[in-house]
Amino acid sequence: MNATTLLTERYVDALAYAARLHRSQVRKGSGVPYLAHLLSVSELVLEHGGSEDQAIAALLHDSVEDQGGAATRAEIAARFGEHVACLVDGCTDTDQMPKPPWQQRKDDYLAHLEHADPEVLLISLSDKLHNARSVLDDYREQGEAVWERFKGGRAGTLWYFRALADIFARRGHPVLTAELERVVSEIERLVASS
């Protein structure tokens, strides 16, 4: 843990900016405001030694992909600096509209993670861990219906989580990687027993 990371007005500004960008967005299937996910990812980054720039990028990690593409990326760079914009780039699987096919995006993102900067890896791992936790919780409540919300369906989503866990096992933060492995294994176990 990095006890010296202090948050400044930049973080407060990023939080307000993220809230504005994502105010009408909710998590797939749950209806939870999307901002809750962004806050959770930023919290994980901070708890595991991330810098303020990483915590800001965690708040904004889906902004380019979901809320405006290149124009949003340019605004992030202008408001929070090129370093934050580059971190967001590293967490973005596409800024194209319409988005390329799901499998292509996931394959490309997995290949990117094999060589991504450690600062990006912490943000991405925090994002994927929170996503996996949400899927596990939702699977426990909804069962097989949970897969209907994902473009990859059950097989694709399980494949992607396993591929992420394997890459992060080689490259990620040890504590977060162990937690991701635990959550993904639990999802796999529940699915296999259903």
Catalytic residue list: 65-66
Quick one: which of 98, 91, 131 has its CA closest to 113? 91
Task: Give residue 69's region: left, alpha or beta (phi > 0; psi -120 to 50).
Answer: left
Extract the tokens encoding 162. Answer: 């396993």
Query: Which two tokens mark 88?
Result: 């967001």
Omega of the bond prior to 98 within 30 degrees of 0, cis? Answer: yes
Alpha-carbon gap, residue 33 to 18, rounded angstroms: 12
What is the CB neighbour count within 10 angstroms for residue 122? Answer: 25
How far from 1 is each of 25, 87, 116, 144, CA to CA, in Å? 31, 20, 21, 37
Which amino acid would we find at residue 82? E
For 178, residues 6+ apart whose C-beta sits below 8 A from its C-beta are: none
For 103, the token pair is 């499998």
